[in-house]
Structures are given as structure tokens and as C-alpha cells.
């Protein structure tokens, strides 16, 4: 069974750093990209970027390029989303998803709530 | 950047109604269009990919159509479990822009 399990809720202060994780199981991790999606409180879905775990190549939305870093460790089937300096506007739910080049984002994690205050 | 525009933003309907949501892309995306359903507090669920291919386990009352820049999601007979927010998404090798969402509410 394909599963993506994300790290738990975090409360941080502005200026702090943070890395959240997304652990995959039930499939060959290197075979599918991982997407990260932001959902601010009461708002819609925003595509942040994707990583190919086989070689760690990434694509970012221009809206997020330079503010977050997406990485992956294929030895432990885990993808990461990282901030070096959080802002209050980063308060949101963050989802990871398995990306299939043909069938889009077919499996999703449960979400990680990040609160910056 | 490809922009995706959904309409309407909110849709009020009754159980049994036929409802259609429209999604427009700012440039041609061929059939690289997915539809998701999201309920409050939950992760999105993939319903349709490549504009019209229904995911396994998704009820046949859902259907998708279109190509190029205009796409539709139709629910043939709205059921109580279908009240949710729906998002379209274009996906290509470099990006995956979502529409702003359509909330389907009980009339």
C-alpha cells in the first residue's frame, strides 16, 4: 500500500529555520517525483515545487523559488521541505504528494501544519 | 507561468442535481489536466487525470472533458458525499498550477 507520512505540527518564531519531512512507503521511492503544496488558512492549493528523488533535480514555482528548499534522501525514502528564515506568512498546511508524470499527484500525505508566530 | 481559472468559485446545488465546473488555462496544456476533491481538514484526493481518465474507485457519476485550454468536471447526480471543494491542476514536466477552487455547497 502506497503511503506518505508527514512530520507533525510545528510552532516556530519568525526568523527560525525549519525542515518538515515526508516519508514514503509501498513503492520504489526513486521512481516517482514528490510534489509539495501549500494551503494557507481558508485558502486554495498552491503548487510549490517538485523533486526527482533519483537525482535530486528540482523544479520550483517562481512564487517559492529562493524561499524554500526541497530535498530528498532516497536511502530512507524521505523528502523534505526546508526554510532558513520563517515568516508569519509561512503559516499554512503543507502537503506532499507522489507525482506520476502521466496521472499527476496520485497519493498524498496527511499534511503538516506550520504555525509561525 | 501557466494560469488556471476555475468557475464558478461557489456553486449551490441540491442532491440529484447535475453540476459542471469549468477550468480554463492561459495557454494550451493539451490534456495535462487533473481534478481533485478536497474536504475540510483532509488532503486532496485525485479524481481525474489526463482531463478525462477516472481514477480507480472514483464513482462513475464524475466525468471530465476538454482539451487545449477549456476543461470541465461534471457530476451527473450530486450525492451528499460530493459536497466539497474541487480544484483543477495543469501538470507538465516543470510545473503544476492549481485553479483557485470551486466550493460545492448544499442549496
Q: What is the pLDDT of residue B79?
A: 96
Q: What is the pLDDT of residue B75?
A: 98
Q: Cβ–Cβ of B96/A45 closer than 8 Å?
A: no
How many of the other CB atoms lie within 10 Å of CB of A74?
Answer: 16
User: Among A61, A101, A104, whose Cβ lies nearest the Cβ of B89?
Assistant: A104
User: Among B1, B43, B46, whose Cβ lies nearest the Cβ of A62?
Assistant: B1
Q: What is the pLDDT of residue B34?
A: 98
Q: Cβ–Cβ of B43/A106 closer than 8 Å?
A: no
Q: pLDDT averaged over consecutive 10-residue blocks of chain B (107 residues)?
A: 96 97 97 97 98 97 98 97 97 94 95
Cβ contacts below 8 Å, chain A against chain B, sum to: 68
Neighboring chain A residues of B1 at a CB cutoff of 8 Å: 61-62
Residue A29 DSSP label = G
Report chain A's mean pLDDT, rounded to a whole number: 97
Q: What is the pLDDT of residue A9?
A: 98
Pairing of strands B70-75, B62-67: antiparallel
Asked if the C-beta of B34 comes within 8 angstroms of chain A's C-beta atoms, the answer is yes
Q: How confident is the model at residue A26 (pLDDT cuts 50, 70, 90)?
A: very high
Q: What is the pLDDT of residue A4?
A: 98
Contacts of range A65-69, beta carbons closer than 8 Å, 24 or more positions apart: A68/A36
Asked if the C-beta of A105 comes within 8 angstroms of chain B's C-beta atoms, the answer is yes
Amino acid at each position: 500500500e502506497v503511503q506518505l507520512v508527514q512530520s507533525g505540527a510545528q510552532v516556530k518564531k519568525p526568523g527560525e529555520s525549519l525542515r518538515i519531512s515526508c516519508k514514503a512507503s509501498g513503492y520504489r521511492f526513486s521512481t516517482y517525483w514528490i510534489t509539495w503544496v501549500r494551503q494557507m488558512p481558508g485558502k486554495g492549493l498552491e503548487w510549490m515545487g517538485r523533486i526527482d528523488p533519483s537525482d535530486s533535480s528540482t523544479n520550483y514555482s517562481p512564487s517559492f523559488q529562493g524561499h524554500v528548499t526541497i530535498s530528498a534522501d532516497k536511502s530512507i525514502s524521505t523528502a523534505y521541505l526546508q526554510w532558513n528564515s520563517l515568516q508569519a506568512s509561512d503559516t499554512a498546511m503543507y502537503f506532499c504528494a507522489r507525482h506520476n508524470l502521466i496521472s499527476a499527484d496520485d497519493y498524498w500525505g496527511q499534511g503538516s501544519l506550520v504555525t509561525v508566530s | 507561468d501557466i494560469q488556471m481559472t476555475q468557475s464558478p468559485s461557489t456553486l449551490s446545488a441540491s442532491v440529484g442535481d447535475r453540476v459542471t465546473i469549468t477550468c480554463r488555462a492561459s495557454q494550451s496544456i493539451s490534456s495535462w489536466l487533473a481534478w481533485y476533491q478536497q474536504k475540510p481538514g483532509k488532503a486532496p484526493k485525485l479524481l481525474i487525470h489526463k482531463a478525462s481518465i477516472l481514477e480507480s474507485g472514483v464513482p462513475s457519476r464524475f466525468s471530465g472533458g476538454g482539451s487545449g485550454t477549456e476543461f470541465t468536471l461534471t457530476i451527473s447526480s450530486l450525492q451528499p458525499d460530493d459536497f466539497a471543494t474541487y480544484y483543477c491542476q495543469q501538470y507538465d514536466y516543470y510545473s503544476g498550477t492549481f485553479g483557485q477552487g470551486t466550493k460545492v455547497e448544499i442549496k
